[in-house]
A and B are shown apart, each in its own frame.
Chain A
Amino acid sequence: MTFFGLTMVTEQALASNAELGDELVLRLQRAEPSAVAEVYDAHHAAVRAFAKRLLGDATSAEDLVHEVFVSLPQAIRKFRGDSALRTFLISIAVNHARHFVRAAQRRRRAMSAYGETTTHETSDPEHEARRKELADLLTRALDALPLDQRVAFVLCEVEERSSREVADIVGAPEATVRTRLFHAKKKLRQALETEGLG
């Protein structure tokens, strides 16, 4: 299965990770580069996709991915094994996101000031332009949200995770996650209407 051009980790791979969990966790705790490399190869696509959706900026997303895997040997000490390693990695990304969200916002403002845009060759340029316009619009609207609401929206709506899983990731009750999502969607709709696209 492919995921944005990169090999996506299959359920089978996840299961095998769970099997060698204890040994891998021990190796990660010893900060063995081979263990981190193994986890990176298995999960970087998911972490990167989340980072990019959350931050809306490829460069900041790469920085966040780097931060997640560099801090993994320290963070793994808190890993209880009651959630998937990938979920745990996403939660590390959430914990480190605040600084990167600000960096991404600064970069977006700078790019819009210089009128810089990135173009990608696609089979349907018109469709791609519309998709990009909407994605950029939503990213700008997300910038106006508090971080917890932004995280809840990206995880629940964009990544289509269950509220239970999101609650595990952000370390908050499910009801809190649903409340954050409700407020996020309300604000985003208002923002889109303000932009005149509603």
Chain B
Amino acid sequence: MSKDLLAEATRALRETEPVSEFEARATRARVMTGLHQTRVRRRTRLAFLLPIAASFIAVSAWGAASGQARVVLEKLERFVGVATPAPTSAKVTPRKPSAAPARTVPTPEPAARTPMQDAEPTLPPPVAAPEAAPARAAASASASSARAERPDPTLTLYRIAHTAHFVDHDPARALAAWDAYLSAAPTGQFAPEARYNRALSLVRLGRNQEARSALEPFANGAYGAYRKAEASALLERLAP
């Protein structure tokens, strides 16, 4: 009997009362509205995401092309603490032991200088950045053996200039070498240090006009706080 009842109930469910035309049209309108909203949402999403994606790609490409990406990556690695600390023996340029203290001598305050020194501006101590620069290079070299196997030609130019400037104390040769490095890597990772050292070489050679031109960007903050105070002090001394 229950079988018959099940069949009867099934038939009853099959013969469900008709849906009104109004309900069908109302649902159709809801579907169309829903589709429209979906399209609008998709367009809005695209309008936001596409520029972000394009900016990201452009910045990545610029970073890769200019070498800034590596610098940022190294800074990030250092910040996160995954970078291998550069061992002292990993310094790229062999240096005389006497050269090291000279690099760490702080810049003397202008007020403490003698009038004689004022008349003939003393050369500020060599920048510490070149010391850090090879260390950075060493850190990146130790991070990837493959990269270490392929020496960067601009880094070689930097080493030559560094040796001429800090080891041999030959400003003429150093100037030529800094120029060579900067023409090879005008936006390289050590470009600010190279530009500052070039300016120092010009000062040493007595080419004050060119030295002023080279120091002005540093004094104006074109490189942030990097060597801003030293450049300003030097410019004051070089003023005609």
Contacts and interface: CB of A to CB of B under 8 A. Distances in A.
Interface of A: 4-6, 31, 33, 36-37, 40-41, 44-45, 48-49, 52-53, 56, 58, 62, 65-66, 69-70, 73, 120, 130-132, 134-135, 137-139, 157-160, 185, 188-189, 192-193, 197-198
A46 B69 CA distance: 59
Interface in B204-231: none
Interface of B: 1-3, 5-6, 8-10, 12-21, 23-24, 26-28, 30-32, 34-36, 38-39
B134 to A, nearest CB: 56
A58 B39 CA distance: 28
Contacts of A159: 14
Contacts of A137: 9
A169 to B, nearest CB: 17
Contacts, number: 102
| The 5 nearest A-B residue pairs measured at CB | A198-B2, A4-B18, A5-B18, A134-B12, A138-B9
Contacts of A160: 14
Contact of A5 (B2, B3, B9, B21): B21
Contacts of A58: 19, 23
A131 B8 CA distance: 8
A137 B12 CA distance: 10
B31 A66 contact: yes
A53 B28 contact: no
Contacts of B14: 53, 158-160
Contacts of B17: 4, 120
14 contacts: A6-B21, A6-B24, A31-B39, A37-B32, A48-B19, A48-B24, A49-B16, A66-B34, A130-B12, A132-B12, A134-B9, A135-B13, A192-B5, A198-B5
The B contact surface, by secondary structure, is helix
A185 B12 contact: no
Given A135-B9, A192-B6, A52 B16 contact: yes
A56 B16 CA distance: 9
Contacts of B19: 4-6, 45, 48, 52, 58
A197 B2 CA distance: 8
Contact of A197 (B5, B15, B20): B5
Nearest to B10: A157
A185 B6 contact: yes
B99 to A, nearest CB: 69
Contact of B3 (A70, A131, A135, A189): A189
